């Protein structure tokens, strides 16, 4: 049986004071323990880690049916392992704001959807040199977004009626074992009908999916024109749906904790939310610069913080409030979480960051895989993405 529950929110803050007092979540502003590490100190001994990435870009239709390119590979390699062109016959006047449906790399593969204008073909592509696409399933309707489970066994597809993008058909579960099994998973999201006087450039309906690193939750964000957007979390084992009004989820995290922005007239506040209890706490930095990962079988909060003159990476135990600095960027450098810069696979026991600087009038960028246990960061070259189309082309 599917049950729906709502996590309430108020403008600027969540009304969960009683729950917070009862929960074990504590973020206390205590001293930070600094780890004395420098990038590259022990990286050579460990060997290059396998951090997979995927890039996809829609190409202009030109004289024939449209296509999009899927490239995928590993950080540190000189060229993509796979680089293919995928059919993409989409009427942009009907499917307004539609973009290719491509999953994060999961279990060594990427799942994507080809569309010839009549059929959505869900395909799986191993991130291996020379790999060929494997047919998974076909649907007559349109797959708007797709998310593959971290273990690579199934994928979840958000489907709308072909030619009628305002008709939401819900989320379907797709087996990736070659059986071609497709089954309805959860029904459409109940949104108010869009204004019939909607502007032409406003999409009548859009929907995106993402999945947590531990494969526990699926996030669905659906928008219906001027009627606005709604986000819900779906617990995959029970199909229980948790509505998230007034929240923008930025990180699905792991261990039942998510990161979200609660926005109101006074601006936005980053929140760490325990899904089970509903307890929520303000975070010191921005939600965009914060993620939840796993260390020693428990969730930890990893965030980029700074004071305007420098930036550093901090790990916080959400239960004890103990904070530990993992890495401090050189002067005149700034950082971004790797999962915000690229579509990458989940990393176990380490966080991927991008570090940029502008020295002597030239931009410099590198990526670091920073172990959560305090080990030395490992430097990784950026993904070797082949430029698609001429400069300034879409993609």
Q: What is the CATH number of the domain that holds 109?
A: 2.130.10.10
Are 13 and 269 spatial neighbours (Cβ–Cβ below 8 Å)?
yes
**301 in the same domain as 182:** no
pLDDT tens string 242-260: 998 888 899 998 999 999 9
Beta bridge partners of 198: none
Confidence (pLDDT) at 10: 36
**258 in the same domain as 237:** no
**41 in the same domain as 6:** yes
**239 in the same domain as 382:** no
**What's the DSSP call for residue 29?**
-
**276 in the same domain as 185:** no
CA–CA gap between residue 303 and residue 337 (Å, rounded): 9
Does residue 70 belong to any structural domain of this protein? no
Does residue 78 belong to any structural domain of this protein? no
Are 333 and 358 spatial neighbours (Cβ–Cβ below 8 Å)?
no
Domain endpoint, select from 183, 211, 245: 245
Are 207 and 222 spatial neighbours (Cβ–Cβ below 8 Å)?
yes
- Among 220, 161, 230, residue whose Cα is nearest residue 185: 220
**353 in the same domain as 283:** yes
3-class DSSP assignment, residue 324: strand
pLDDT tens string 137-191: 999 999 999 999 999 999 999 999 998 888 899 999 999 998 999 999 999 876 5
Average the pLDDT over 122-129 and give the result. Answer: 97
Confidence (pLDDT) at 74: 93
Task: Say which residue, 63 or 121, is predicted with more confidence.
Answer: 121
**171 in the same domain as 102:** yes
**Stretch among 108-112, 298-302, 347-351, 386-390 having the lowest mean pLDDT:** 386-390
**288 in the same domain as 187:** no
Confidence (pLDDT) at 192: 52
* Euclidean distance between the first and the last CA atom of the chain, given in angstroms as a whole number: 42
- Among 77, 222, 108, residue whose Cα is nearest residue 176: 108
Between strands 82-87 and 343-344, the pairing is: unpaired
**What's the DSSP call for residue 15?**
S
Domain endpoint, select from 210, 226, 245: 245
Question: Which stretches does DSSP call E strand in 88-228?
Answer: 109-115, 120-126, 134-139, 142-148, 154-161, 164-175, 182-186, 206-211, 217-223
Domain hosting 351: range is 1-49+251-395
Whole-Å CA distances, 194 to 94, 151, 204, 209: 15, 37, 7, 21
Does residue 199 belong to any structural domain of this protein? yes
What's this model's pTM, rounded to 2 decimal places? Answer: 0.84
Domain endpoint, select from 222, 245, 268: 245
Query: Considering its fold, how many domains does the chain have in total?
Result: 2
């Amino acid at each position: 049986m599917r049950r729906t529950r709502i996590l309430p929110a108020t403008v600027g803050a969540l009304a969960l004071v009683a729950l917070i007092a009862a929960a074990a979540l504590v973020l206390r502003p205590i001293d930070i323990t600094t780890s004395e590490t420098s990038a590259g100190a022990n990286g050579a001994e460990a060997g290059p880690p396998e951090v997979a990435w995927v890039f996809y870009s829609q190409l202009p239709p030109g004289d024939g049916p449209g296509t999009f390119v899927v490239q995928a590979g590993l950080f540190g390699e000189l060229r993509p392992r796979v680089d293919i062109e995928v059919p993409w016959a989409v009427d942009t006047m009907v499917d307004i704001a539609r973009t290719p449906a491509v999953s994060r790399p999961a279990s060594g593969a990427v799942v994507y959807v080809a569309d010839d204008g009549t059929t959505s073909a869900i395909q799986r592509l191993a991130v291996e040199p020379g790999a060929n696409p494997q047919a998974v399933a076909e649907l007559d309707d349109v797959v708007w977004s797709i998310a593959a489970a971290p273990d690579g066994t199934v994928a979840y597809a958000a489907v709308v009626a072909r030619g009628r993008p305002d008709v939401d058909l819900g989320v379907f579960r797709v087996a990736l074992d070659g059986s071609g099994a497709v089954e309805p998973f959860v029904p459409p999201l109940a949104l108010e009908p869009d204004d019939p006087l909607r502007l032409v450039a406003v999409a009548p309906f859009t929907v995106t999916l993402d999945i947590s690193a531990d494969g526990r939750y699926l996030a669905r964000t659906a928008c219906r024109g001027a009627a606005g957007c709604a986000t819900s979390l779906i617990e995959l084992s029970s199909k229980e749906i948790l509505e998230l009004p007034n929240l923008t989820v930025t990180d699905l995290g792991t261990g039942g904790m998510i990161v979200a922005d609660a926005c109101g007239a006074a601006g936005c506040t980053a929140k760490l939310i325990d899904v089970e209890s509903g307890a929520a706490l303000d975070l010191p930095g921005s939600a965009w610069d914060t993620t939840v990962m796993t260390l020693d079988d428990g969730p930890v909060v990893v965030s980029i913080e700074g004071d305007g003159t420098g930036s550093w990476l901090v790990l916080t135990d959400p239960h004890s409030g103990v904070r530990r600095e993992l890495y401090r960027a050189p002067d005149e450098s700034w950082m971004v979480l790797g999962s915000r810069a690229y579509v990458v696979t989940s990393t176990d026991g380490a966080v991927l960051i991008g570090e940029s600087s502008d020295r002597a009038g030239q931009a410099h960028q590198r990526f670091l895989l920073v172990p959560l246990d305090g080990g030395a960061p490992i430097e990784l070259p950026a993904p070797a993405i082949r430029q698609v189309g001429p400069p300034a082309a879409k993609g």
